[in-house]
Amino acid sequence: MENNEENLGSQEPETTTNTNPVKKANTTLIGIIAIAVVVILAVILMFMTRGAKSAVKDYVKAIEKGDSSKVVNLMDLNGVSAFESTKADLSKFDETYAELKKDKEMQEKVKEFKKEYKDQFKLDGTDSKMKVSVKDLKEEKVEGSKKLKKVTCTLKVKIDEYEDEKEGIEFYVVKDGLKHYIVSAGV
C-alpha cells in the first residue's frame, strides 16, 4: 500500500487547456471587425484623395467652363513658386517647396492672390461653346523629387467649327496632404 500511496502522492494533477468557445468567438469577432474597419478606411481614403491625373482632368474642365475660382483652387501657389525657381533643377523642388510652405509672408501672399483672382476670369458658359477633352494621360515621377509628378496628355479643343489636338502637353503636379495640385500647366 505504501507503494500506492507513493504513486498517488507523486502524481501531478492533470492540466487542462482552457478552450472556452466564447473567448475564441470574441477574439475572432474582434479580428473580423478590425479587418472590416481597415477596408472601410482604405475605401474612404481612396475616394477622398485626388490623384495627379484627376487633378489635371479637373483643371482642364475648370478652364473649359471658365471657372477661375476652381482653377485657382486646383493650383498650389507655393508649388508654382517653387517650380518656377527650380525648374532648371527639379531635384531642388522638395526643399524649396517646404521652405515656402513654412514662410508666413508667402502664406499671406497666397491667401491674398486666391482672394483677388478667384473670380478674375469668370466666363459665362453660354458665351463659349468650347469643348476640351483630355486623353492619353501618362503619369511619371520626377527624378530627385518625392512630391512632384509629371503628367503628359493629349488635349483636344473644339470651338464651334475650329478643332485642334495637341499631344505631349505637360503638367507638373505636387502632392500636398491627400490631394494633388497643379504647379505648372502646359496649356
For residue range 6-26, list pLDDT tens digits in order: 555 555 555 555 566 667 767
Average of pLDDT values for 137-154? Answer: 94
Residue 88 has a pLDDT of 92
How many Å apart are CA 8 and CA 85, to the nearest integer?
A: 89
Residue 22 has a pLDDT of 65
Residue 65 has a pLDDT of 84
Range(s) of the domain holding residue 88:
52-185
For residue range 42-90, list pLDDT tens digits in order: 766 555 556 899 999 999 998 888 888 888 889 999 999 999 999 999 9
**180 domain residue, yes or no:** yes
> Tell me, what amino acid is at 142?
V
Residue 161 has a pLDDT of 86
67 with 119, same domain? Answer: yes
- Biggest CA–CA distance in the chain, Å, is 115
Residue 93 has a pLDDT of 95
* Residue 152 pLDDT level (bands cut at 50, 70, 90): very high
Residue 51 has a pLDDT of 87
**Is-contact 55 70, C-beta < 8 A?**
no
56 with 126, same domain? Answer: yes
For residue range 95-135, list pLDDT tens digits in order: 999 999 999 998 898 888 888 777 666 655 545 678 888 99
If one counts the domains in the chain, the total is 2
Residue 85 has a pLDDT of 93
Sequential DSSP letters for the chain: -HHHHHHHHHPPPPP-----HHHHHHHHHHHHHHHHHHHHHHHHHHHH-B-HHHHHHHHHHHHHHT-HHHHHHTB-HHHHHHHHHHTT-GGGHHHHHHHHHH-HHHHHHHHHHHHHHTTTT---TTT--EEEEEEEEEEEEPTT-SSEEEEEEEEEEEETTEEEEEEEEEEEEEEETTEEEEEEE--
pLDDT surpassing 80 at residue 145: yes
44 with 96, same domain? Answer: no
Tell me the HSE value of 64 on the side-chain side, using a 13 A CA sphere: 17
**14 domain residue, yes or no:** no
Which of residues 144 and 3 earns the better pLDDT score? 144
75 with 32, same domain? Answer: no
